[in-house]
Amino acid sequence: MKTIYLDNNATTRIAPEVLEEMMPYLKDYYGNPSSMHTFGGQLHKKIEEAREKVAALLKAKPEEIIFTSCGTESDNTAIMSAVESYPEKKHIITTRVEHPAVMNFCKHLSRKGYRVTFLPVDKSSGQLRIDDLLKALDENTAVVSIMYANNEIGTIYPIQEIGETLKERNILFHTDAVQAVGKIPIDTNKLPVDMLSLSGHKLHAPKGIGALYVRKGTRFYPYLIGGHQEHGRRAGTENTASIIALGKACELAAKNIDDEVIYLSRLRDKLESSLLKLCPDTRINGDINNRLPNTTNISFEYVEGEAILLRLNEYGICASSGSACTSGSLEPSHVLRAIGVPFTAIHGSVRFSLSRYNTEEEIDKVIEVMPNIIKDLRMLSPFGRDKLPQECR
Ligand SMILES: *Cc1c(COP(=O)(O)O)cnc(C)c1O
């Protein structure tokens, strides 16, 4: 059975071009880029070329890019750098819908004596209100960290507007752009952010490589301390092959991004509108006017997300769910709770996230099998058959 992979916000396939580019650096060119000899030293040049490609995707300068081991490290580094750089400031602002890489790091800091404000978001759309941010700011605020786009619901946040507000007040601004980079255009010349995180495996590079953009002139304090790699901003021998891979992945993304936005949103919209039409009592979670082109999060009332995923799995279809357990945690999604999705709908939520490698036939297959899966499961629903729509009773 062929896999239909619709879980690209969890991780992506390595692009064949990326794999080809990185392979020689796993096999033959294994030197240390810091070595004096040519065998190692030549890798230094390859790393700098990769840095230029990552920078180009963000319209940044190469020296503004620091390679890290993952999106999580980039997020932790950015926030830690901010609080280390402004030791007198003990307040951090973030949101209730961040990825655990930001959310749990901020919770950790709150146990270390920092005050953390978790901004609420609007019902259903998950949007932020700038007013809430303004009310939370004070002279003690060291950093504001707000994600560019949400991994679960795809909502895109008003990073431009937030950045302008913070720039006027001279407050550091970090954005976790792991889900946005490579999916939608980002121009750091125009976007007033000081730091921005990205991760390789969310844009067709391997797992275990990330980068942090740090605007020139921003105070920076390293998180990993040791050797002089990355100009002393991130110690540790470079993951050469993966850095080269990330460079290639960014180059591919930059080349194709406009076409992919159109391609992915067309497929996503087809999937979404068909499922909404064919399955009664469904709703979309997230901001349909401001959303990643590849993501849809749909709640199917009265059914368990896990059950849906298991049934989809029988057809080789991979998706993910916001309900308990599937994500390896006992709590249902903090994002869906933050946007006020009712209990029954959280448990029946399914996220489909597409990539350039999905085809229309694959989407048609999901549209074909899903209505029957939902109908079957609703017959068995523990949430009360009397609540079920007439045709499913
Ligand atoms: C995946 C993800 C991360 C973490 O990236 P890793 O490379 O897996 O550590 C952080 N933030 C968001 C929004 C993500 O989707």
Rounded to the nearest angstrom, the distance between the alpha carbon of 147 and the centre of ligand 1 is 11
Residues in contact with ligand 1 (CB, 6 Å cut-off)? 70-72, 75, 99, 101, 147, 151, 176, 178-179, 199, 201-202, 210
Domain chopping of the chain, boundaries? 4-10+257-392, 16-253
Rounded to the nearest angstrom, the distance between the alpha carbon of 72 and the centre of ligand 1 is 6
pLDDT tens, position by position, 189-205: 999 999 999 999 999 99
Residue 327: the pLDDT is: 57
The hierarchical CATH code for the domain 16-253 is 3.40.640.10
Q: How far is CA 92 from the centre of its chain?
A: 21
Residue located nearest, by CA, to atom 8 of ligand 1: 71
Three-class SS of residue 176?
A: strand
Map tokens 């470079």 to a residue. Answer: 238
Amino acid at 334: H
337, 324 contact by CB (below 8 A): no
Residue located nearest, by CA, to atom 6 of ligand 1: 71
Phi, psi of 255 (to 5 degrees): -70, -35
- The model's confidence at residue 393, banded by pLDDT at 50, 70 and 90, is very low
Q: Which of the listed residues 176, 184, 334 should we mutate to test ligand 1's pocket, taking the one with most ligand atoms within 8 A of CB?
A: 176
Rounded to the nearest angstrom, the distance between the alpha carbon of 151 and the centre of ligand 1 is 8
pLDDT tens, position by position, 26-80: 999 999 999 999 999 999 999 999 999 999 999 999 999 999 999 999 999 999 9
List residues with catalytic annotation. 325
CA distances from 234 to 7, 62, 73, 222 (A): 31, 15, 10, 6
Atom from ligand 1 closest to the CA of residue 70 = 7
At a CB cut-off of 8 Å and minimum separation 6, what does 155 contact? 97, 125, 126, 127, 149, 286, 287, 290, 291
Give this prediction's pTM. Answer: 0.95
CATH class of 4-10+257-392: alpha beta
Percent of the chain clearing pLDDT 90 (strictly above): 90
Rounded to the nearest angstrom, the distance between the alpha carbon of 191 and the centre of ligand 1 is 21
- The model's confidence at residue 346, banded by pLDDT at 50, 70 and 90, is confident
CA distances from 29 to 16, 36, 44, 218, 339 (A): 20, 15, 11, 35, 49
